[in-house]
């Protein structure tokens, strides 16, 4: 079992202490656990930039935990970078300075609005809003920093104010294919993220994962996107079962940027 997407008190919204997260992951039988604290350079709430992770302290803390628990679990030190054109140089500098294991590149914000909230979709049809979101993901794939994983594709659907919030393939076949083909040609991994409402739901939808597979996509990973202890590994079993039905037999993770495969 593995889980590459977690936030602790080093992130502005994390509620679990790093070491208690490690202990819980071990209890659950997790073999590879990755920290992916937020770096949301463009994330502004009420006109104020949210607290950025103290990267130096975070990095040191995970190195200590890695050593302490080395005989029980593989711990990874990652970052979740909120894509922003203006922040690219800053992120790049951090990856040159520290030896992070991996980077999750995530789109959270469109036109300065967090797509998690319904207000971001004001006066936009689903076609327009999701179209813009998909185009931004496609643009984010050209980020100048070295990222490995594309985070929670479909984040914009979580609380969007449409009767059918799902990003159905038949509504956006051109953009979804363009995005998936680019991900495949860049050798990046797609994360299956379970931080979404609803029984046996995940981002992206299994419909999109099926299309990814059809187009030749092979690299996938799992992320609970947990911010508290009770969500570590959440949904892992159903995701793996479904991915196997689609034809996937491995998940992947990255150690110092090196691809590792994990049989499921
Ligand atoms: Zn995220
Ligand atoms: Zn996250």
Ligand 2 center–CA 38 separation, angstroms: 7
| Ligand with an atom nearest the CA of residue 5 | 2
- For residue range 16-49, list pLDDT tens digits in order: 999 999 999 999 999 999 999 999 876 776 666 7
| Ligand with an atom nearest the CA of residue 43 | 1
For 182, phi then psi, to 5°, come to -70, -40
| Ligand with an atom nearest the CA of residue 227 | 2
User: Domain span at residue 8?
Assistant: 2-263
CATH number of the structural domain spanning residue 199 = 3.20.20.140
- For residue range 230-258, list pLDDT tens digits in order: 999 999 999 999 999 999 999 999 999 99
Cβ proximity of 242 and 201 under 8 Å: no
- Please report how many Cα atoms fall inside a 13 Å half-sphere around the Cα of residue 30, on the Cβ side: 29
Ligand 1 center–CA 3 separation, angstroms: 14
Ligand 1 center–CA 151 separation, angstroms: 6
Cis peptide leading into residue 47 (ω within 30°): no
Q: Are strands 102-106 and 74-82 parallel, antiparallel or unpaired?
A: parallel
Ligand 2 center–CA 227 separation, angstroms: 8
pLDDT, residue 40, reads 86
Ligand 1 center–CA 181 separation, angstroms: 22
Q: What whole-number distance in Å separates Cα of residue 178 and Cα of residue 108?
A: 20
- For residue range 58-107, list pLDDT tens digits in order: 999 999 999 999 999 999 999 999 999 889 999 999 999 999 999 999 99
Total count of domains within the chain:
1
């Amino acid at each position: 079992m593995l889980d590459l997407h977690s936030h602790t008190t080093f992130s502005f919204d994390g509620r679990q202490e790093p070491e208690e997260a490690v202990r819980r992951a071990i209890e659950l039988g997790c073999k590879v656990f990755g920290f992916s604290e937020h770096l949301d350079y463009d994330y502004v709430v009420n006109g104020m930039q949210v607290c950025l992770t103290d990267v130096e302290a975070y990095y040191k803390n995970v190195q200590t935990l890695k050593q302490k628990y080395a005989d029980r679990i593989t711990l990874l030190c990652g970052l979740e970078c909120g894509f922003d054109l203006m922040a690219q140089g800053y992120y790049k500098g951090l990856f040159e300075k520290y030896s992070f294991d991996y980077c999750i590149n995530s789109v959270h914000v469109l036109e300065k609005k967090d797509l998690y909230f319904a207000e971001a979709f004001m006066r936009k049809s689903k076609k327009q809003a999701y179209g813009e979101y998909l185009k931004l993901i496609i643009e984010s794939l050209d980020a100048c920093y070295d990222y490995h994983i594309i985070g929670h594709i479909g984040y914009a659907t979580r609380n969007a104010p449409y009767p059918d919030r799902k990003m159905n393939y038949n509504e956006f076949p051109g953009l979804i294919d363009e995005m998936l083909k680019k991900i495949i040609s860049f050798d990046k991994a797609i994360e299956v993220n379970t931080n979404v409402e609803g029984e046996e739901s995940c981002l992206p939808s299994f419909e999109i994962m099926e299309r990814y597979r059809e187009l030749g996509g092979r690299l996938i990973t799992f992320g609970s996107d947990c911010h508290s202890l009770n969500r570590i590994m959440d949904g892992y079993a159903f995701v793996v079962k479904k991915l196997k039905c689609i034809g996937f037999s491995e998940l992947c993770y990255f150690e110092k940027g090196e691809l590792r495969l994990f049989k499921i």
